[in-house]
Chains A and B, each alone.
Chain A
Amino acid sequence: MFVAEKYEYTADKTFKVYSFISYGPKGAIHKIAKFNELYADIYNFGFGDHDLVSGAFSDTRISNNEDMSIIMGTLGNIVYDFTNVFPNAKVMIRGTSIARTRLYQMHINRFLPQLEPLFLIYGLRNERWESLKQGRNYDAFLSYRRIIIQ
């Protein structure tokens, strides 16, 4: 089981889109995570802020809502839930910038003791995949689910 502080979220009927709201000093910010299938059982994990009025998305805005840790915990839970529904799914995660990818990496490392029994995680470094090692910087991540809880 993956345990982290998180926001409540909902899924669409395909279980490939997840929605939640971040709350903080900047107000309520609607977030959407979507798994796009690239090849059979290989998905890209996309994530961004959704403006409910204009319908526009942003993944470059820095919301400063002082809840990054809760957002990352929510994303971890979403990936966990998604791979319960699609156990053969391999999920690719990368930020829109080096800074965003580092942010993902920081939180993957933080949750690594919980993640390692559940996922095989690879990091892309110098255009080669390797098993994730703490202290190394990666350009992208690819996770395979190890254990499916029935």
Chain B
Amino acid sequence: MLFLNLAFMAKKQKKQKRDTADDRSLITVDPALSSFDGHPFFEKKAADSKALLEKVGIPKPQPPKS
């Protein structure tokens, strides 16, 4: 009986592992892709968003209601 339980658990864990692996896509890395760090196009967008956040703050997630 113990053996059967262990076999069942192992099968279940294997299935769970496979399911979660399927749920998470793999990201292809291109080592030649620039990081565009310091690029004015993205720096300006970031600066604008930062200025807005300084003005309005950041929402704090509400804990789930019990």
Task: Please report A residues at the B interface, Cβ cutoff 8 Å.
Answer: 1, 8-17, 19, 32, 34, 36, 38-39, 42, 44, 46, 48, 57, 59, 77, 80-81, 84-85, 90, 92, 94, 96, 120, 122, 124, 127-130, 140, 142, 144, 149-150
Contacts and interface: CB of A to CB of B under 8 A. Distances in A.
B57 to A, nearest CB: 8
Nearest to B45: A46
B61 A11 contact: no
A1 B23 contact: yes
Interface of B: 20, 22-25, 27-31, 33-36, 39, 41-43, 45-46, 49-50, 52-53, 55-59, 61
A32 B45 CA distance: 13
Given A19-B33, A36-B46, A11 B58 contact: no
Contacts, number: 99
B24 A127 contact: no
A127 B20 contact: no
21 contacts: A8-B28, A10-B27, A11-B29, A11-B33, A12-B33, A13-B29, A14-B35, A15-B29, A16-B35, A17-B33, A19-B30, A36-B42, A42-B58, A46-B45, A57-B41, A77-B25, A90-B58, A92-B49, A128-B56, A129-B56, A130-B59
